[in-house]
Amino acid sequence: MDSRLRVLALLILLPRFFTLLAISSVFFTSRVIGAEGAIGVNYGMLGNNLPSPAQVISMYKAKNINYVRLFHPDTAVLAALRNSGIGVVLGTYNEDLARLASDPSFAASWVSSYVQPFAGAVSFRYINAGNEVIPGDPAANVLPAMRNLDAALKAAGISGIPVTTAVATSVLGVSYPPSQGAFSEAASPYMAPIVAYLASRGAPLLVNVYPYFAYAADAERVQLGYALLSASQSASVTDGGVTYTNMFDAIVDAAHAAVEKATGGQAVELVVSETGWPSGGGGVGATVENAAAYNNNLIRHVSGGAGTPRRPGKPVETYLFAMFNENQKPEGVEQHFGLFQPDMTEVYHVDFAASS
C-alpha cells in the first residue's frame, strides 16, 4: 500500500463517492469455497522486529490462513513455504520493472532465481509485475515486464502461473454509479492493453480495495456500517436495478465495469489483492473494534460465495492487509493495519475458520 498513490486514489474517487452518498440517501432502506473465493493475508516485511519467515509461515498454517501475498521475492520466505500447501502471490519490486520490461534476460534470471527453484514445492498462484504504479512514470513498463516474465516462465518449462499486475483504485476515473466505472484518462492508455492481454490469457487483474480511506475522508457523510459491511447498517445504494449494501462490493463492481469497457465486454476476473482497516494510528475510525468488524465481516461476506451484485455467485478471491503491524512504514495508520503484533500476539481476533 503506497501512501502517495493512496492519496491520489482518494482525490479521484472521493468526489464521485460523495455524489454516490448524496444520491444514495434517496434510496436508504431498512432493509467457499474453491480458490476463487479464498481469503489470504499479505505478508509485509517493513519492520525491524518481525518474526522469522519460518515462524510466520507456521503462523499462517496454525491460523488456517491458506493463501499469502508477497510484495517482493524473498528466498528465505519461499524456502519456508516449501510443501506448506499455501497458495502464493509473488510480486516484483517496483524498481525492477524497467529492467524486467527492457531486458528479457533479466526476466529469465528473475524466474530462475525466484520461481524455478521452488516451482515443484511452492503453490504459486500468480506473479504480479509491480504494485500500484499505474498511473505514474513506471506505468509504461508494466505490460512489457508482464510479457517478458510470461515468456521466461514458458522458456523455463513452467506453466499454470498467470502473470498480472496489482493496481490501486486510482486507475478509476469514474466510480459512481458502479455500472459506469471507467479507467481515468491517465490510466487508460496503460490499463486497456493490460486488461486485453489478461483477457487473452484468462488471467486475473489484482486490485487493491480500501473502503477505509473513503470513510476517513468524510466520516460525517459516509455511513460507517456501509464501509464496515455491517449487517445492521440501513444504507443501500441502487444502481440499474441492483442493490449495494456495502462499499466493498461497489468498488469491486466499478472496477469490473471499467475492465469490461476497456475490453469491449470481455470479462477479466478480479482478485482483491489488498484490503483492510487500521486499528490505530490516530486516523478517523481507526480503532481495534472497527478493524475487527471490517475484517471479520469481509471474511464472512466473501466466504459466503454470493459474489457482488454485478457478478452474483462468483466469489472474490481476497487478501487482507496485513499480517503484522510494521514499524518501518510511515507513521500513523499505515503502521496499524496488522492482524498481529510483531511478537505474534493478536491485535484482535479474526476468524479464518469461516473462510474454510
pLDDT digits (tens, 9 = 90+) for 206-264: 999 999 999 999 899 889 999 999 977 767 888 988 999 999 999 999 999 999 999 99
What is the pLDDT at residue 118?
A: 98
Q: How confident is the model at residue 176 (pLDDT cuts 50, 70, 90)?
A: confident
Which member of 185, 220, 269, 274 is catalytic?
Answer: 274
* Helix axis angle, 104-114 to 142-155, nearest 10°: 60
User: Grid cell 521466461 — which residue?
Assistant: 152
pLDDT of residue 85 exceeding 50: yes
Give mean pLDDT, residues 161-182. 96
Which range among 12-26, 39-53, 282-296 shows the weakest confidence by mean pLDDT? 12-26
Query: In 10 A of CB 216, how many CB atoms?
Result: 19
Distance CA 233, CA 54 (A): 41
| Whole-number Å distance between alpha carbons of 187 and 261 | 13
For residue range 319-344, list pLDDT tens digits in order. Answer: 999 999 999 999 999 999 999 999 99
All structural domains of the chain: 40-340 (3.20.20.80)
Task: Respond yes or no: is residue 334 known to be catalytic.
Answer: no
Predicted TM-score (pTM) of this structure: 0.91
pLDDT at 35: 53
The least confident of 5-14, 34-43, 184-193 is 5-14
Q: Which H or E run contains 173? A: strand 172-174
340: which DSSP letter?
A: B
Any catalytic annotation for residue 95? no
List 132, 260, 269, 334, catalytic entry: 132
Is the distance from CB of 92 to CB of 112 less than 8 angstroms?
Answer: no
Question: What would the pLDDT profile of 258-302 be if each residue is shown by its tens digit?
Answer: 999 999 998 899 999 999 999 999 999 999 999 999 999 999 999
Q: How confident is the model at residue 30 (pLDDT cuts 50, 70, 90)?
A: very low
CB atoms within 10 A of CB 345: 7
In whole angstroms, give the CA distance from residue 171 to residue 135: 6
**Separation CA 198–CA 164 (nearest Å):** 7
Q: Which of 13-27, 134-148, 153-167, 318-332 has the lowest average pLDDT?
A: 13-27
Q: And the C-alpha cell for 35? A: 480458490
